[in-house]
Structure 1
Amino acid sequence: MNRLQLRDDSPCAPDNGDDFLHLRIASIFIILIGSLAGASFPVLAKRSSWLHVPKSVFDFAKYFGSGVIIATAFIHLLASGVQELGSPCINPAWQEYPYALALSLLSIFFIFIVEIIAFRWGTAKLAKLGLKHDAHGHEMGSHAAHGPELSHDRKDVEEVVKPDTHSDSIDSSKGFAQDGDALTQIIGVAILEFGVALHSVIIGLTLAVDPNFKILFVVIIFHQTFEGLGVGSRLAFMKLPSKYNWVPLVGALIYGITTPIGIAAGLGIRTTYNPNSGMSNIVAGVLDSLSSGILLYTGLVELLAHEFLFNKEMMEGSNGRLAYALGSMMLGCGLMALLGKWA
């Protein structure tokens, strides 16, 4: 009897009762609505011809969302990875080295190398057609996040293209340039979505089995809505050819369903899944750490650097606009960091 009691009191013992089962099931649909609303509203509002949303609102959503993503990387992912991989329920060998930080570092450099290869390949292809692009978006200004912005050097194009095929070749090179730019933007957003999706599934699994359900449920509603706003604002400002208009909508849908999928999976295995077990801690810690690196790179390089330092409109704009953007971003970062107190 004493042995059983010790096992029940262990921090590694299962602790995922069936309390609030009906509310846990309802949370699938409630969080689905909140996530989809946060991610899809910026996309739909940007495309709407009758819903006249002021530009300042879009700017707020964009910069607020950037702050949310950066806070998610540090507070909700990296800190969680450190905690999970430092759990007493896993092999002590995991605590002999800061594996969470190392995995985050590995993830940052992996994404960085992938983007370098993509930029070099794209630059070489465009150079053959007499087209240039500015990898930092200096020339294009406002929406330079997630990949290079293309600029056409008309003189170079005319030198490459023969007069008798001028029209067809220009059209062909334009199409290639648009497709190349679209591809780099899609890759950038896909990287962001991948990191967020891993995090969202883990959140769903946790919510389905966590004994402190009520507090966690309320916090995650806000968490997913804010994070959805961040993802949705990136999707809304993608500059894509008309044939790729479906990409932002699909991106918003994917974000919206990931946490509900995690909740449904958690409810399905709640009687056998032990979130406190060593294996669960290792899997969650590794995924959180890798995801933190993805969001850190995306937040600091693609969002902060490209939207501020490499953004001509921002650097040459008024002090009021800069203050508004920085305030919006810090508000998003602050609110998301505050939510880390409970989730």
Structure 2
Amino acid sequence: MAADLKLAAFCLLAVASLPLLAVADCECSVSADEDSDKSRALKLKIIAIFSILVSSAVGCAIPSLGRKIPALRPDTDLFFAVKAFAAGVILATAFVHILPDAFEKLGSPCLVDGPWQKLPFAGFVAMLAAIATLVVDTIATGYFQRAHAKNAAAVGDVETPGHHHHVHAHAHGDHGHNHGMPALIASSSSTSNTDDHAQLIRHRVISQVLELGIIVHSVIIGMSLGASESPITIRPLLVALTFHQFFEGIGLGGCIVQARFRLRSVVTMALFFSLTTPVGVAIGIGISSAYNENSPRALITEGVLTAAAAGILNYMALVDLLAEDFMNPRVQNSGKLQVILNVSLLLGTALMSMLAIWA
């Protein structure tokens, strides 16, 4: 777990430093901003930092605090419904907000050199990112499950001799079958515990991979807000990001609760999620005076990272969040719950998609 957190920190620092490459070397003219007002824009950016920070923290904390509220526990219908709504928000963010922006940047007329006009790189990068996420997801899950199976086998080898002797000693008596039953029950219980642990490993991998994907796109969208000098642009973006981070936090928080991490790990992951977008806004403020969003380096850097984030979030929303819950036996055996989850999913995608009209 510590290694994963170090990797997340490294990714955050790496992504945060890349936009500095776009400060100079511009071939395209800087777009004129009719509503440029640095003073008003700065006030809105400061408001955005605190607003997004609070909404992210509250959204991520709700599932954890919900464990003390019977209606919000991970095994309730309401928890499934809220998680489906949050997954819908993440899915709409990837398809409606992030991916079109990647196509716009990588298809910009400012990119006259290189292969950028010959191939739809945004879709290509998103596809590769989704495949890479699948590879990481399956390899990590398989690795931890094999490690657990190996440890369980080692423990079984230590305990087997004494247990075998006990069963054999009673095998010749009339009650041999009766004494064999506890062994069968123990074997069934062991299989159940193995399945539960495999599911726990799956939830832990899902939560960590999802957070890494969120870190990438959160820093980028935060920098876009921080680098803008137009209050007209910042105001709707502030509302959209506050809404988005809140429900994305609920989705991530739900995964963290199901992963049953220790308190220290839960707090660390929640802090990473809550701080990434505000940190991106702060970086955007710092480079706004020299930053040129139309420079080739800026377009390529942001376009590639944004497309990659879209691919990661598409995979996570569809495979690790929606498919994981929609194929749950509890959901499959309840027509009512299936309807509730589908309605929640569509509601989340609809509301987040509507925000694209203003932001």
Question: How does the TM-score come out when normalised to structure 1?
Answer: 0.76
* Letter paired with 1:189: S
Aligned partner of 1:105 in structure 2 is 127
CA shift for structure 1 position 290: 0.6
**How does 1:309-324 map onto structure 2 within 5 Å?**
310-318=327-335, 320-324=336-340
Does the aligned pair in 1 maintain the 2:215–2:273 contact within 8 Å? yes
Distance 1:180 1:324 in 2: 28
Are the counterparts in 2 of residues 216 and 342 from structure 1 also a CA contact under 8 Å? no
Please state how far the C-alpha of 1:119 moved relative to its aligned partner: 3.3
Q: Secondary structure at the match of 2:294?
A: coil
User: Match of 1:4?
Assistant: none
CA–CA distance in 1 between the matches of 2:141 and 2:259?
Answer: 18
Superposition RMSD in Å? 3.5
Quote the residue 2:81 is aligned against. Answer: 60
Distance 2:97 2:351 in 1: 12
Equivalent-residue separation in structure 2 for 1:182 and 1:91 (angstroms): 49
Aligned to 2:181: none
- Distance of 1:217 and 1:165 partners within structure 2: 69
Contact persistence 1:199–1:288 (CA under 8 A): yes
Q: Deviation per CA, 1:218-275: give whole Å up to 9, x if none.
A: 343343333432332342353345x624433332222211111111111112111122
Partners of 1:52 and 1:315 in 2: how far apart? 20
Rounded Cα–Cα distance in structure 1 between residues aligned with 2:276 and 2:269:
11
Contact 2:77 2:337 in 1 (8 A): no
Q: How does 1:195-210 map to 2 (within 5 A)?
A: 195-210=213-228
SS state at 1:250 partner: helix
**Partner amino acid, structure 1, of 2:127:** L
Structure 1 residue 162, shift from structure 2 partner: 1.0
Structure-2 separation of matches of 1:305 and 1:89: 40
User: For residue 67 of structure 2, what is the aligned residue in structure 1?
Assistant: 47
Which structure has the larger Rg over C-alpha atoms? 2
> Which AA in structure 1 matches 2:124?
A
C-alpha offsets along residues 105-154 of structure 1, whole Å, 9 cap, x if unaligned? 111111112222223333433444568xxxxxxxxxxxxxxxxxxxxxxx
Distance 2:29 2:283 in 1: 23
Which letter maps to 1:342?
A: W
Q: Is the counterpart of residue 90 in structure 1 residue 111 in structure 2?
A: yes
- 2:248 is aligned to 230
Whether contact under 8 Å (1:129, 1:160) holds in the other structure is no
Deviation, structure 1 residue 329: 0.7
Shift of 1:291: 0.6
State the partner residue of 2:144. 122
Q: Which structure carries more helix by proportion? A: 2
Q: What residue identity is the alignment partner of 2:131?
A: F
Q: Read off the aligned partner of 2:350 and give its amino acid letter.
A: G
Identify unmatched segments of 5+ residues in structure 2: 1-27, 165-186
CA contact (8 A) 1:38 1:232 kept: yes
Query: Is contact 1:236-1:248 (8 Å) kept?
Result: no
The more displaced of 216-225 and 291-300 is 216-225
Gap change, CA 1:125 and 1:30, over 3 Å in 2: closer
Note the alpha carbon deviations across 1:4-53, whole angstroms, 9 max, x for none. Answer: xxxxxx65347565241223223211221222222222322x2336x865
Residues 41 and 232, structure 1, Cα contact 8 Å, conserved in 2: yes
1:247 counterpart letter in structure 2:
S
Q: 1:273 to 1:13 in 2, by over 3 A?
A: same
The answer (yes or no) to whether the contact 1:203–1:262 under 8 Å persists in 2 is yes
TM-score (norm 2): 0.73
User: Aligned residue for 2:24?
Assistant: none
Paired AA for residue 333 in structure 1:
T
Maintained 8 Å contact 2:29/2:294: yes
Written as runs of structure 1 = structure 2, the 5 A alignment for 1:23-42 is 23-42=44-63
Give 1:251's aligned residue: 269
Report how many aligned residue pairs link the two structures. Answer: 303
**Conservation of the 8 A alpha-carbon contact between 2:55 and 2:243:** yes
1:330 aligns with 2:350: no
Equivalent position amino acid for 1:314 in 2: V
Q: Distance in 1 between matches of 2:239 and 2:211?
A: 18
Name the counterpart of 1:239. Answer: 258
Identity %: 31
Quote how far apart the aligned CAs of 1:299 are: 1.0
Cα separation, partners in 2 of 1:47 and 1:315, compared to 1, 3 Å = closer
CA distance in 2, matches of 1:59, 1:184: 17
**Counterpart of 2:102?**
81
CA shift for structure 1 position 336: 0.9
Gaps of 5+ in 1: 1-9, 132-156
How many Å separate the matches in 2 of 1:177 and 1:247?
A: 23
Q: Distance in 2 between matches of 1:258 and 1:125?
A: 32
